[in-house]
Chain A
Amino acid sequence: MSDEGSGIETLREQAPPSVSRDIGITVLFLLFAVAFLVLSEQFAGNRISQYDPGATIWPRAALIVILVAGLLNLFLLYRRAQKRGESVVPSLSSEVTTLSEKQRKYLLAIALSVAFFLSQDYVGFFVSAPIFLFAFSYAIGYRDMVKLTVFSLVTGLVVFFLFRNVVNIALPYGSGPFREISIWAANLF
């Protein structure tokens, strides 16, 4: 399959790492630090004795260092951008392009993972794991259907029984009929 792919429109092409995006990440860290510094005021007076510096000292120390390091990083990024003649402001004129095949696989992998996590409470590991293994491997490019079916079923079963019956860790059973199936399977051995 081609990596260029036919894909979904209206999504912007991923740009190579740029200073503006780097700055964006640092700003997120700074905002996080400021927000939690404000929130830390809630338990400022809690201490076990008058000599205990209190429940805020450690989180605040960490947040303040994030602030200082973040500001320093912004300065370094600005200096680097100046040296390279790059803009520190994100460009709003990125071209709207199609997704490449790899990007589609990436998004599909994330979507399948989310679906797999969500399914645990309802379908349970025993039923969902083989389906996930099959769908995930297929989505990222494996096409030998016979091997894929055998791999998905065998791996799902082995992992379930290894953890449930050997290591005594009950993986999610799900609910309703799926729960009954999982319990039935767990009691097989």
Chain B
Amino acid sequence: MVVDTVASGAVPLIIQDLIAGFGNVLTPFNMFLFAIGITLGMMSGAIPGLNGTMTVVLMVPITYAMAPDSGIMMLAVIYAAAVYAGSISAILFKVPGAPEAIMTTLDGYPMNQNGQLREAISTAVFASAFGGIVGTLILIFFSPLLAEFAIQLSDPEFFAVILLGLALVSTIGAGNITKATMTMCFGLFLGVFGFDPLTGVPRFTFESNYLASGIDFIPVILGVFAFSEVLKQIQSGGSLIGGGGGGGGGSDFSQATSGSMFPPLSYFKRFGRILGVNSVMGTIIGVLPGAGATTGALFGYTFGQRLVPKSVREKFGSGVPEGVAAPETANNAAASGAFVPLLTLGIPGSATTAVILAAFILHGIRPGPSLIDQQGPLVYTIFAALLLANVAILLLNKPVVRLFLQVRHIPRELLLSLIVIFTVVGAFATRNIMADLWTMFIFGVAAYYLEKYNYSVAPMVIGLVLGPLAEPSLRRSLTKAGGDWMVFFQRPVSAVMITLAVLTFFIPLIMDSTQFGDRIREQFGLTELEQ
């Protein structure tokens, strides 16, 4: 039984195969490809408009001329590096380099604004590497076990997980739960434009070809986070980079140019619980087909809020390192977890792993339950490369921080115009549709005003990302169950998830909107948050 992989004494064999995998990665040619993969991944993650999926797509034809282990290894490294690097532009400019970095903007950018840019990037690097390493180790030792777990999950569980995610989103707007719920449901509704996923009927398209293809979330993300921030900075006269703005040479910078290659060891102590829980939970979420690193980051952020002391929890969203460590640990772990269904079931766990699946097929290899037995050297080369990629991210901490701190020297006005150009390119590049520019613009202006009146916009984006995943699961569940809604409570995992979702959503809502909540707050000395 595959379930007994660890218990049956297969561990020495796994380690032996892993050492062989390292040996394969460390050949000169593969190391060259590894370096290219890290560089391309970091560039594609950090530059708005590019992303890991796009870069992997572009590199697939090039791998055709290579041996499968070299080519697919490089694609896996690009993926791992891109997930990490998405946080860089999220912290620097409030532009998530990739959707999985959305949650990192919530605290990473405020940290930058508070003059803690170096600490924010350093935390992101450390948490990303830790999440990635733990996720890869889980992938190596527990793939068969996780695959059995994943194969038992069906639409009700998948819908329940997303519902729990949506309920958790409402807590992002703590103190403004009604507003967060409105924006989240608005995002969910935006996801229904276009063709119905089951019947193919056009919904709310108003005979427009653009609306028929649906509202893509990339232009919305760029508008809501980046363009609105540019408008805010122009209106307020503030600076994108905190602690001296365009001047450079602050204390952050001098710290970044000295000291160890590694982030401080105190990070282990400070983020211990977040690192432990989120790396495991992130991997499990990554295992769910279709969920991917974005969902992992969402769960990671909200789990993180519950794992820290109350004094830190209350500061989430205003720029605390825990708010960066939590999503970054989870999204990198989820990126590793997404390889589990790919390698063991032949089902991609995310958009990028779907492209990597295409690369496997291009090389005449079909992933599935027998892949590890039949293609051991290839699989363990990928595992070794993923581990090394995360170690490389950790080692690159200091030069990366130093490199990105140079942005401080760019005058504010030039930086703002540069961001507008990248948001335009990013919005256009996804589908090559001009109307996406207008979508970006409209959502940017709207987000500017919504934020001004404390309507949290992150739930809207997350609703738009999760909505199209939730609806087909809900309807397929009901169709298979003969229309019986109890299907969600007859399966233990979905029953627990849905109960948690209901509690997570309604308790803060009741607390937020009733006199009972006011009394509880008074009793426990909690001040009413400004709405």
Given contacts A46-B201, A172-B428, contact A137 B434 (CB under 8 A): no
Closest to B474 in A: A58
CB B71 to nearest CB in A, in angstroms, measures 19
Map CB proximity to A onto B418-429 as digits: 1 under 8 Å, 0 otherwise.
101110110011
Task: Tell me which residues across on chain B come within 8 A of A73, comparing CB atoms.
Answer: 178-179, 182
Given contacts A47-B199, A116-B424, A120-B434, contact A21 B186 (CB under 8 A): no
Task: Tell me which residues across on chain B come within 8 A of A22, comparing CB atoms.
Answer: 453-454
Inter-subunit contact A151/B414 (CB<8 Å): yes
In the assembly, what is the distance between CA of A123 and CA of B238, in Å? 32
Inter-subunit contact B454/A53 (CB<8 Å): no
CB A129 to nearest CB in B, in angstroms, measures 6
In the assembly, what is the distance between CA of A156 and CA of B181, in Å? 40
Is B17 part of the contact surface with A, judged by Cβ < 8 Å? no
Inter-subunit contact B198/A55 (CB<8 Å): yes
Inter-subunit contact A53/B455 (CB<8 Å): no
Task: Tell me which residues across on chain A come within 8 A of B49, comparing CB atoms.
Answer: 163
Is B54 part of the contact surface with A, judged by Cβ < 8 Å? yes
Task: Tell me which residues across on chain B come within 8 A of A168, comparing CB atoms.
Answer: 58
Query: Which of the residues A55, A132, A141 comes within 8 Å of B196, measured between beta carbons?
Result: A55
Inter-subunit contact B425/A51 (CB<8 Å): no
Task: Tell me which residues across on chain B come within 8 A of A29, comparing CB atoms.
Answer: 182, 186
Is A57 part of the contact surface with B, judged by Cβ < 8 Å? yes
Task: Tell me which residues across on chain A come within 8 A of B480, comparing CB atoms.
Answer: 51
CB A133 to nearest CB in B, in angstroms, measures 5
Inter-subunit contact A167/B50 (CB<8 Å): yes
In the assembly, what is the distance between CA of A114 and CA of B424, in Å? 11
A interface residues, Cβ below 8 angstroms from B:
3, 17, 21-22, 25-26, 29, 32, 36, 39-40, 43, 46-53, 55, 57-59, 62-63, 65-66, 69-70, 72-73, 75-77, 80, 102-103, 105-106, 109-110, 113-114, 116-117, 120-121, 125, 129, 132-133, 136-137, 140-142, 148, 151, 155-156, 159, 163, 167-172
26 contacts between A and B (CB under 8 A): A3-B237, A17-B454, A25-B453, A40-B203, A40-B204, A43-B202, A43-B203, A47-B198, A48-B199, A51-B478, A51-B479, A53-B475, A57-B474, A58-B470, A58-B475, A66-B185, A113-B227, A117-B441, A121-B434, A136-B417, A140-B417, A163-B425, A170-B432, A171-B425, A171-B428, A172-B428
B interface residues, Cβ below 8 angstroms from A:
49-50, 54-55, 58, 178-179, 181-182, 185-186, 188-189, 192, 196, 198-199, 201-204, 227, 230-231, 234-237, 411, 413-414, 416-418, 420-422, 424-425, 428-429, 432, 434, 437-438, 441, 445, 449-450, 452-455, 463, 467, 470-471, 474-475, 478-483, 512-513, 531
